[in-house]
Structure formats: C-alpha cells, structure tokens
C-alpha cells in the first residue's frame, strides 16, 4: 500500500511540475510577443532562473566562442565605497554578441538591458524577455524618449537593479569611436533615476575589443579549425577578447554639469581605453 501511495504521489508531483513548466514557458512566450512588438515594454520582473542560465551559458560558452578573455578594471564594478552605487554600464557596441561578453562579467547580479527592438524579435524574443531586456525602436525619436521613461520606471520599481545601455545606440562594426555617435540618453536616464529613487547612479565606461585575425589563433583554436569544428557566433569568429572597465562617472539628480560635458567625459574614457592611455 505504501509503495502504491509513493508511486501515486510521485506521479502527481511529476504532473504538477509539468503543468508548472508549461505555464511558465507560456508566460515568457507571451512576454516575448509583447517585447518584440512594443517599444519600451518592461517585463514584470527579471527571472532569477534567467540570470542563472545566462551566467552558466556565458561562463561555459565564452572560452569556446571568444577564446581567452583579458579583463582589467573589474574592481570598478564593486559598487562604490558602501557597495550601493547603481550603474548604467556603457560599452561600445561592435557585434551583437557583446551582451554575451558583458554577461560573463556581471554574473547573476540583477541587470537589465536596453536593446534595439530588431534584435529581440523572432525566436530570441522569449529568451530576451526572460532576461529582462527593454526594447527600443532606435529609428524613432519618440520611441527613444519613451524608452528612457521605461528604464527609469524599471529602476524605480526594482531596487538594486542596474542597466546596460550602449551609448552609441547602434552597431559600429568597424569599432570607430566618434563623439557624434555618443548620445545623452544614459546621462538623462541616470539623472532621472537618481531623482526618482534617491540612490546614487553612475555611468560605467566599458571598452570591448575582439581579436579577429586568424593568425593570432591559439593552439586549441587551430586544432578545432583543423578538425572542421566551427566556432562562429552571430556571424563572427573571434580569437580572443579584451575588456577594459574605467572608473565610474557619477551623475547626480541635481547635476551641475551639462549633459554634453558628462558625455564628453564618457567618450574620453572610452577613447583612452581604446588607445591604451
């Protein structure tokens, strides 16, 4: 009798688990549909499971797809003296897989991403929703302005959450940094968020550079190529990656400096890292 009861309980638990997984996947599938069709849409929350999955995938996949990652300035992500400084991470945007590199660095901490709505459509939509991405129609000024309000709302609603925003607002595949490409959006968001939440915010300059010359491939990468195993990711094959993180640039709610002055400081930090100065 006890064995029969155990089997029944196990079967019931399995059925409940299957039902739970079904509705969980269905929920994020619907969130993905909204995400891919509504610029500025904010998902109800950032999934803990999504953060863990992204962390594991980036940790396991980064060495394979990107080769050796050289990271400097990681201490600048510590969160200030009291550990409570909230960031708007501002990386250069060369390839679509930049987010995978950043995910390798941030681990399971609570972050959201701002991304072009074209990059969150299709099969990747539920996954992007699961990770807390906020989409924006970069071709529409009205949509870009509205997305800033969405970001501030998310930061106000979720204490401790930080954001990843590409200040160039688009892919720059030749990695040519020009001042005109750097917009004031991150500065506006940081100032509004500081005012709305009462927390300290800062822009965190991050420079990502990839090794794309096959002649610099490691022995392991050459062996994989010899065996016909492709490492292509998002249309690119890279042979190493270097990430530099500069000191945070604080942005206050009652900031005295102009938005352009702060962007100038951000741009200067990025070019200094690019030039190795």
pLDDT, tens digit, 9 for 90 and up, residues 194-229: 999 988 899 999 999 988 888 877 777 778 777 887
DSSP 13-76: HHHHHHHHHHHHHHHHHHHHHHHTTSTT---S---HHHHHHHHHHHHHHHHHHH-PEEEE-GGG
Strands, DSSP E only, in the chain?
A: 69-72, 86-91, 111-116, 133-136, 162-164, 201-210, 241-245, 249-251
Produce one character per residue of 76-106: b if its CB has 16 or more CB atoms within 10 Å, e if not.
Answer: bbebeeeeebbbbbbbbbbbebbbbbbbbbb
Query: Which pLDDT belongs to residue 213?
Result: 81
Residue 229 CB partners (closer than 8 Å, separation 6+): none
Distance in angstroms (rounded) separating the CA atoms of residues 223 and 201: 46
Residue 75 CB partners (closer than 8 Å, separation 6+): none
Distance in angstroms (rounded) separating the CA atoms of residues 151 and 191: 12
Do 44 and 134 meet the contact criterion of CB atoms below 8 Å apart? no
CATH no., domain 2-275: 3.40.1130
pTM for this model (two decimals): 0.84
Query: Which pLDDT belongs to residue 79?
Result: 67
Query: How big is the chain, counted in residues?
Result: 277
Region 43-71: what's the mean pLDDT?
Answer: 81
Q: Kindly state the percentage of the chain with pLDDT values over 90.
A: 23
């Amino acid at each position: 009798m006890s064995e029969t009861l155990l089997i029944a309980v196990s079967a019931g638990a399995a059925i409940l688990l299957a039902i739970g997984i079904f509705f969980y996947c269905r929920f994020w599938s619907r969130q993905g549909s909204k995400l891919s069709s509504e610029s500025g849409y904010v998902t109800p929350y950032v999934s803990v499971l999504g953060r863990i999955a992204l962390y594991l995938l980036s940790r396991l996949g980064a060495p394979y797809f990107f080769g050796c990652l050289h990271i400097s300035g990681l201490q600048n992500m510590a969160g200030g003296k009291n550990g409570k400084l909230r960031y708007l991470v501002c990386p250069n945007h060369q390839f679509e897989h930049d987010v995978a590199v950043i995910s390798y660095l941030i681990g399971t901490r609570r972050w959201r991403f701002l991304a072009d709505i074209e990059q969150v459509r299709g099969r990747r939509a539920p996954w992007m929703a699961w990770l807390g991405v906020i989409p924006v129609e970069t071709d529409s000024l009205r949509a870009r302005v509205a997305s800033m309000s969405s970001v501030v709302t998310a930061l106000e609603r979720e204490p401790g959450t930080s954001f990843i925003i590409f200040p160039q607002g688009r892919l720059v595949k030749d990695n040519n940094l020009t001042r005109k490409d750097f917009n004031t959006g991150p500065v506006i968001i940081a100032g509004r968020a500081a005012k709305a939440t009462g927390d300290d915010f800062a822009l965190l300059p991050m420079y990502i550079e990839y090794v794309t010359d096959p002649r610099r491939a490691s022995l392991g990468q050459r062996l994989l190529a010899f065996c016909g195993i492709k490492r292509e990711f998002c249309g690119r094959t890279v042979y190493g990656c270097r990430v530099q993180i500069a000191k945070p640039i604080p942005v206050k709610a009652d900031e005295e400096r102009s938005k352009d002055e702060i962007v100038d400081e951000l741009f200067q930090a990025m070019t200094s890292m690019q030039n190795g100065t």
